[in-house]
Each structure stands twice: as C-alpha cells, then as structure tokens.
Amino acid sequence: MVRPRLGLALVLAALAGAPAAQAAVGDLTQLTGTLGCTVQTDGSGLGCASGTSLIQPEAIAVSADGKNAYVATALSDAVTIFDRDPSTGTITQKANPDGCVSDDDTSGGTCIAGKALFFAIDVAVSPDGKSVYVNSSEGLAVLNRDADTGGLTVPAVATAGCFTDDGSNGDCTAALGVSGGGAVAVSPDNKNVYVVGADSLASFTRDLDTGALTYTGCFKGLGGPIGCPAAKAMYDPRSVTIPSDGKGVYVTAASGDSIAIFNRDAGGVLTQPQAGTAGCVSEDGTDGNGIVGACKDVNYVSSSFSMAFTSDGRDAYVSDRAQYAIGEFSRDPDTNELTQKPAPNACLTAASIQPPDCGVAKAITYPTGVAVSADGKSVYMSAQEHGLALFDRDTSTGYLTQKAGTAGCITKDGTGGTCAQARAINKPWDVAINPDDKAVYVVGQTSNSVSVFGRETVDGPPNPGGGDPGTGTPGTGDPGTGPPSTPRPPAPARPHVTTVTLHYNSINGSLSVEATATGPGTVTMNADGSITVSGGHRAQAAKKVKLKIASAKKVVKKAGKVTLTLKPKGKAKSYLRKHGKLKGTLHITFKPKAGGKASVKTKKVTFKYKRRP
C-alpha cells in the first residue's frame, strides 16, 4: 500500500488549539487524513490509513538514518515495519508480507514468519542500522535489517534468530534472564545489547559485521532467575536506557520504585557499585531486596516506567506512574550518579498531587513513555489515561516547563478544550522522535495505532508537515483526494483527581488509594474516609452501579457512569506485594443532581497482585 505524499495543495487539519500564525520550537501538529495515523485493519472511521499486525502496540523505534519506524505489538505477536518519507515525516507500512514479522507467522501468511515474538513488548534498532531487536514475554528476537530498504529478515542460522531462558526446545539459543518481557537497548557503539526480563538484566556482545549476538551473563533482582548474580534495585524492571557516552546502563524498576545504575566498560561489561548508596536510586533508599540505606534516597521514581537522556547524557527524565509525574535529574558522566534537580524543578506533576518541590502539569495521569529531542529543547511524555504532554526544556538548566494553553498537551478529545485534539491516540503507550527532530510518533495501545505529528524546529510560521521548515512546501507529490479531518467538538470538563480512603481489614489502619473520577460527576473525600460522588447523574443511577476490580488497579463501570481508578499505596502496597491479596470494603455515597434522596453503596473488593506479563 502506497500513500500519497504531502503536496502544496493539501490543507492540514486544524487541531483544537493548533499552533497559531507563529509557532514555537517543539510544537506538534498531527498530519491530515491518512498521513496522520495508521490503524489496525480499518482506519477509515478515523480518517487513518489501514495497517496490519498493530493490535496493542507497546513500543516504537526509529532507525538512525530516519528511513524507517518499527513497532512492537503485543497482541499481534509481531513487529511492524514502516517506511518514512524524510521530506514530510510521514510513515507508510510496507506492503504484505514485508510489513511485519510475526511469531511463527501467527498472522496466517500476512507477515514474515519469525520467532520469540509472542507478546512483543519493546523494540530497538542498532545505531549502525544493521539489526532490529525485539523483546517479548518469550525472549529476544534477532532480525537483520536491510540498510537500503529497511526490510527485516530472520537470520539464516535458526538458533541465531532468538534467545529464551530455556532455548525453547532447541528452536532458540538459551540465555538466562531474557524471558518475561521488559525492554531492550543497543549500546551507542553497537558492541552490546542489554535485555530486561522478569526481574533480570541480560547482556550480549554484538558482532559489528553481522549483528549476531553472544550471551555473556545476567543480573537478577528479587525473584529473578537462579544462576544470575544479585543486583540492587531490580524489583520488577521495566526499561533499560543507555546515555550517549555509553558509560552507564540504567534500569527502571516499577515495583521497587527505583532505578538500578550499572557502570559499563569499553568492552560492554557491566558492574554495579555496591558501596553505600551507590549503584541505585529509590523512593525510600531501600534496594528492592529489603535492605535500607542501600540506594540513594530520591523522589519521583515511584513505579518508574521509563526514562530518557538528553543527547549530551547530562540530564535524565523519568516517568513516575504512581505520582503522575515526570522526575527531573542531573547525571554525572564520570560516575553515572543521578541527582534530583532542586525545588521547584524536581518534577512536574498533576495539580491534585503537587508537592512543594515540583511544578504543575496536565495530561500526565499514569505516564508511560518519555523522549527528548536531539536539539535538547523539548521533552514529550505519553500518559496512559490522557495523551501526550509537551514540555519546553531550558538547555542550560535542564528544567522543564509545560507549553502554555492547548499547545501543552494532545488528547483524543481535547480534554474539555484544555488540550489539542488528535486522532488515534487512545491509551498512548510510547513516543519516539525522528533523529532530525522534525516528526514525533505515538503508539495508541487501545486504538491499535501509530499517530504522526510534525514538530516545529524553529520559531516562526508553523510547519505541520514534519519536513524541512521555512520552505512553505511540505511536499511535492500528489496531495490526494481525501478530505481533511474535522476536529470533534471539545468534550465537557472532567472532574478533578482526588485522594480518597478505602477501608480494609487485612492489616490495621487505612489504605490510601488514588481515585480518578471521569464522566458526569465529581468525587470528594469525606471525613470518615468514604467517597461521595455527586452532580450530573440521575438519582436512580445509584441503584445500577456495578463495580468490578481489574488487576488490582481499576474499578470499572459502564459508559456514562463515574469511573474510579484505585491504586494501593504505602503499607497497603507493601502488604499486597508480600501476601498477594488484600481485601477491603469501599463505601460510596451517591447524591442526586437536584432533589431526591442520597444513596450509599457498599462494595466488598479484593486487590490481587498480578505482575505484568
């Protein structure tokens, strides 16, 4: 399938609050029509292009030459392949079967057959452009990349194409610590590949000519595979990131509320400092193994999910899912040590949570991916419950400031006019920036999509095509015949986020949880710890309320009703990790909008600890 290039006559759709006559560096504008998004199977309903093997995309990576983008898709068990037009920033999925590689070809012939791609979670492209590596719950898939076309092929030697903990009955090479699904990264010098598995970090040396890997060892956190030496702050690792100087390897650990720090030598060998608090940072100074004072005590790494470094490696930004924040850190390139930036620039967080040492940001509930532009002027963060948050970065101090007005965030519905609106950006899970800084890509986990945004690289007239700025001609080809997309009207303002109390009976005291109200109504905390939901719904609606616990994280109701998102914190979180189950009683008072009698609902709930596959 070939899509038309942007032409001079193509009218770019206006987002709600899109850049005005004068745009600023870092502003984003979604491309129009099918150029702006690709959706699984049928994108016509959103005006997007149609793609294949895009069910639940988890990660996106762009090749260093800017020619291709690759997407890891969990429920398609695949990696999808896109060609990129450097002049416009648009991406087009390759025609079948070259548009994807799937696990043992679960696509039924639509994709190239690969191995170790079951529930693909992360993808990385080697800087030299010769290889693509995909981490999955099964293990690590190794794919050869054609530098001219960007196409992917499976290595000729069968076992060279994948690594799993047990070798998968001879189909793959055995490598302890790669299974369980987490993340993968290639060192800037192309010499090593590092893989996060289930409570583990595996290391490989890489052949510079062929891209073939040789397993060299592993580290483990709490509950990691027997046979790997123990490391600090590796409880439930989620990402692995390497700064541009290649001197350190950093692993975020969600359940450990921490980041493990490894020193990397010229040969790619990793060592973790063990003296004092060196080698890790965490929310309370513990190391994930129960040892107090083993890590440097910092803030805003709770449920740390991902991190990104500036191109000079001197600043780092971390997505903190528990505190709805982006943590801001400085990095010492000599020691790899991370230091929290001083107040009030330690983080940006939601207004409802804002601590005194942080600023306020919007559209950052449950942050996921984070990316820094090569020019160091912008930071972008995807957030599961909202969309994409846009930050300006001071290149001298590294401090972040969210862009003003609707330029500061992009969501699927505009969030009541407070953000710009975009298509196919439901539950955004990862964000990537093209190496030339002219385009930004976001994968939507529940919209099964990839969305494309043009990025402003200079102040002045907007250049939403993602191509060369200042020319006034984003492209030269056929503009196509499809009408430009029309923005939907702004959604009504949503209720605020508040902290409520869930009474529980597993241990003494009260369980602190976070509650998000979405829909017609507001949520407030009562003195006795119960929740009151009021405004916007009929009195009789209270009699139809049904609450359902999903993976100990969400209370879900049918559309049109108020939705509460609950998350254990503090003592209760620790108890849940240790015992696996936490029972409690949720009390909610429903008040009618006008008149009528209030009603109280009491619901027995059970939180179950379930690690992400």
∠ CA(267), CA(273), CA(274), 5° rounding? 140
Residues 6+ apart with CB under 8 A from 257: 282, 283, 284, 301, 302, 303, 304, 322
Q: Which residue has the higher pLDDT, 191 or 576?
A: 191
The model's pLDDT over 507-524, given as tens digits with 9 standing for 90+, comes to 333 333 334 333 344 555
The model's pLDDT over 194-239, given as tens digits with 9 standing for 90+, comes to 999 989 999 999 999 999 999 999 999 988 899 999 999 999 999 9
Q: Which of 62, 158, 63 is nearest to 104 (CA)?
A: 158
pLDDT at 331 over 50: yes
pLDDT score, position 23 = 85
pLDDT at 478 over 80: no
Asked whether the beta carbons of 566 and 582 are under 8 A apart, the reply is no
pLDDT at 2 over 70: no
The model's pLDDT over 26-83, given as tens digits with 9 standing for 90+, comes to 999 999 999 999 999 887 788 999 999 999 999 999 999 999 999 999 999 999 999 9
Q: Which of 138, 104, 142 is nearest to 123 (CA)?
A: 142
pLDDT at 530 over 80: no
The model's pLDDT over 349-380, given as tens digits with 9 standing for 90+, comes to 988 887 888 999 999 999 999 999 999 999 99
Cα–Cα distance for residue pair 26/404, rounded to 1 Å: 12
Average pLDDT over residues 144-159: 92
The model's pLDDT over 539-575, given as tens digits with 9 standing for 90+, comes to 222 222 233 322 223 333 333 334 455 555 555 555 5
Residue 109 pLDDT class (50, 70, 90 cuts): confident
